[in-house]
Each structure stands twice: as structure tokens, then as C-alpha cells.
Amino acid sequence: MSFRRIEKKLISGKRLSPQDAVELYRSDDIFGLGLLADARARELNGDRVYFVRNRHINPTNICINRCRFCAFSRSRGEDGAYEMTMDDIMRRASECGPDTRELHIVGGLHPDWPFSFYTDMLGGIKSRFPHLHIKAFTAVEIDYLTKLSGLGLRKTINALIDAGLGSMPGGGAEILGQGVRRKICPEKVSGARWIEVMRAAHKAGLKTNATMLYGHVEKIEDRVDHMLKLRELQDETGGFNAFIPLAYQPENTRMDGGSRTSAFDDLKTIAVARLFLDNFPHIKAYWVMLGVKIAQIALSFGADDMDGTVIEEKIAHMAGGSSPEAMEIGALADLIRRAGKTPVERNAVYNPVERKRSTTTATDSRAYE
Ligand code: V47
Ligand code: SF4
């Protein structure tokens, strides 16, 4: 394949076509691809790499969908099924220090919890811990909450915003094409519905992310088609903050076989995403799924965000993920610095956090020390 042709296209500001993206994926010139993607990331974000002090809460793993790739979910009454009480959730929120910026809350589609459980949870957290930004509910959960509330999509989203929802994570997207979805998550809402929910969320003023679960049964063309659907919605709404490729973790799932993704595939996916998703401000190297070392290398392949401290990650770890369950803030900043980039602590919606340098009023919103 000719990198020159694609390079020329990029230099002249032309968009990559889906065929270009497939071609880039098929190339084994990982260095050439990395250079192109890193140059693009630098145009957008300089040498800055973002991270956030956050904490995950997964209120329940009981889920009516039981996606085949998901080792986290259980049916009601099954071994390992759990549901947190409101007190359990509040205790976890209360454990966040004053510098924590974001709570990331996602869980299973519980068969019995009413809509009021979710609004009470948001309201309870916001009234006790107003400094915490709540990034919660995948588009799949929002679709389910719409059924529980009976209010329709727009009003359900507005009710959640009124209760304290600040933004939405990007989960549940998997591969948006229906052929793959039928094989890996037949009970889940369609890719078209996922897009519809995200469109409604963006129109209601919420920023969201978008993920892609890769490395299972999908083909390269399915990945590119997935990214094309995201790029088209982003052209329309501008509501996406970050694209997050999620490397499939194959253990304890209900899919036959499957192996871990290769480092080559992980880095190519980050790089192709950076080049093809030209309207996404950020590409996240999610260290939980990639492993810390590949996530660090991904910073030279177009990624400009490392997510955060995370704390109590369950979804990847129940599927055999071997990365740590949390990262210290200093260790994250150090990883970024050692990759030759500048660590920038951000809040949930990518504004740099102003940190006091000393007891004086001087602040430095860029370099993390
Ligand atoms: O929706 C489930 C995926 C997602 C497996 O938006 C799996 O900032 C790999 O979306 N192997 C939840 N992936 C996680 C998620 C996320 C994580 C971090 C940050 C953000 C963000 C979003 O995890 C699910 C599903 O797509 N998942 N099982 C598995 N075995
Ligand atoms: Fe349920 Fe989400 Fe797991 Fe699917 S991926 S089974 S919707 S928790």
C-alpha cells in the first residue's frame, strides 16, 4: 500500500475514506502509521496527554441482556450476582477525596430496579458530594431507563440531567453493525438505536464518549464501518469527546475460544482511529484493557488520553484482565512523562484542572507536577 498517497491526502487536509482506513489497517508498516497518527495528535493536542482522578462504581452485575462477551454480568440468583444498596453506592462516593473529579457509573440492566432508583442515586450523590461530576449510563442503559420511566427518550435524558447526570460514557457500542451484534450480543439494542440515543444525549447538551469492542469475531471492515458511523454522528452533533477502543478480554465469557489482541493490532487500532476520526478531539488509551505498557506506547500512536485512576474496575478484570485495578495519580503522570509527553490533569469534560503550585495563588493548568 502506498503511505505516500495517504500522507498526501492528510497533508492536503482531505478526509480518509473507509477504503483508506482498511488499507492502513492492512499495512504492517507500524512505524509509518505511528508517525502519521502522532503528527495528527500533535496538531490537535500538542504533546499534552490527559488523565483524570476518577472512580468507577458498578451498582449491579445482574443484567437481562447477558451479552456473550461479557464476563461481568450474571442472571438474578446466579453465583457471583450482586446488587449494591444505595448506602453501598454512597459509601463508595464518600471514599473519593476532594480532588476526585469524576464518578464513572455503569452496570447491568437490572430486572427490578425502578427508574426512581437511578434518579435517587444521582440526586443523592450530587447533594452530598456536589464536587463530583457524574458520568453515567451507557446508551444501552439509557434505552432501558426509557422503558422504565415510560417518558420517551428526550424526557428520560432530561430527567436524568435534572437529577445530576453530567455526561455519558461510551460503552455498549461494541461493533455497531447488526451482523456482528447478532453474534456477540443478540439481546442488546441495535447499533442504530445506540446512535439514536447518543444523538438525543448530544442534543440535550450532554458530552459523551464512544467505544469500540474489537478483537473478537469482527472483520477490519466492521471496525471501519463502526468508526464511519461515529464520524457521521460527530459531524452532525459534535457531542463526542473521546473515542475508546476496548481490546476484547476473552476469559470467563460465553464466546467460544478467542485470544487476546496482539500489541500490533492494539497500536494499529489507536493509530487508524486517530487518522480516520478526524472530528474526534481525543483518542483514549484505556490502560485497563490495553495493559499499562501498551497504553504507554499508544501515546506515540495517536492517543492523547489515558483515562484515570479508575479504582475498583470489574468489567475487564472479571474477563481475565491482568492490569492493576487502580493507578496512583503520580504513577499515571510518570508514565506519560516517560513517554516524552506532558501530563495534564483534566476534569470529566477535558478542561485542565487548575492546580495550586504552592500555597501562593500561582497555578499551572498544563504541567502536572
Ligand atoms: O460496554 C464488556 C465492554 C464496556 C468486555 O467512556 C468488554 O470513558 C473487553 O465502556 N472485554 C464498558 N471489553 C467499559 C466502557 C468504558 C470504560 C472506560 C472508560 C469509558 C468512557 C467507557 O466494556 C462495555 C463493553 O463494551 N466489555 N465485556 C470484555 N470481555
Ligand atoms: Fe449487560 Fe452490559 Fe454486560 Fe451486556 S455488556 S451483559 S448489557 S452488563
Query: What's the confidence (pLDDT) of residue 323?
Result: 87
200 with 157: CB under 8 angstroms?
yes
Torsion of CA 97, 351, 143, 309, to 10 degrees: -40
Query: What's the confidence (pLDDT) of residue 368?
Result: 38
Question: For residue 98, how far is its CA from the centre of ligand 1 (angstroms)?
Answer: 26
The verdict on residue 354 lying in a domain is no
The bound ligand whose nearest atom lies closest to the alpha carbon of 248 is: 1
Question: For residue 99, how far is its CA from the centre of ligand 1 (angstroms)?
Answer: 25
Query: What's the confidence (pLDDT) of residue 326?
Result: 83
The verdict on residue 323 lying in a domain is yes
Query: What's the confidence (pLDDT) of residue 90?
Result: 98
For a mutational test of ligand 2's pocket, the pick from 62, 64, 66, i.e. the residue with the most ligand atoms closer than 8 A to its C-beta, is 66
Ligand 2, residues at Cβ distance < 6 Å: 63, 65-67, 70, 72-73, 108-109, 140, 185, 188
Question: For residue 245, how far is its CA from the centre of ligand 1 (angstroms)?
Answer: 9
User: Which grid coordinates are listed for 344?
Assistant: 495534564
Query: What's the confidence (pLDDT) of residue 187?
Result: 97
CA distances from 339 to 29, 275, 336 (A): 21, 20, 5
Q: How far apart are CA 118 and CA 63, in angstroms?
A: 15
The verdict on residue 367 lying in a domain is no
Query: What's the confidence (pLDDT) of residue 362?
Result: 31
321 with 288: CB under 8 angstroms?
yes
For the chain, how many structural domains are there in total? 1
Q: Whose CA is nearest to atom 2 of ligand 2?
A: 108
Instruction: Identify residue 114 by its one-letter amino acid code.
Output: P
Note the residue count of the chain. 369
The verdict on residue 366 lying in a domain is no
The verdict on residue 16 lying in a domain is yes
| Residue 131 CB coordination number (10 Å) | 11
Q: Whose CA is nearest to atom 24 of ligand 1?
A: 171
The verdict on residue 33 lying in a domain is yes
The verdict on residue 38 lying in a domain is yes
Nearest to 70 by CA among 167, 192, 171: 171
For a mutational test of ligand 1's pocket, the pick from 55, 167, 211, i.e. the residue with the most ligand atoms closer than 8 A to its C-beta, is 211
Q: How far apart are CA 95 and CA 241, in angstroms?
A: 27
Nearest to 140 by CA among 237, 67, 239, 228: 67
The bound ligand whose nearest atom lies closest to the alpha carbon of 173 is: 1
- Residue 322's domain comprises 2-347
Residue 278's SS3 state is: coil
Q: How far apart are CA 366 and CA 284, in angstroms?
A: 18
Query: What's the confidence (pLDDT) of residue 365?
Result: 35
Query: What's the confidence (pLDDT) of residue 3?
Result: 79
The stretches in the chain having pLDDT less than 50 are 358-369
Question: Residue 25 maps to which CATH number?
Answer: 3.20.20.70
The verdict on residue 26 lying in a domain is yes
Residue 298's SS3 state is: helix
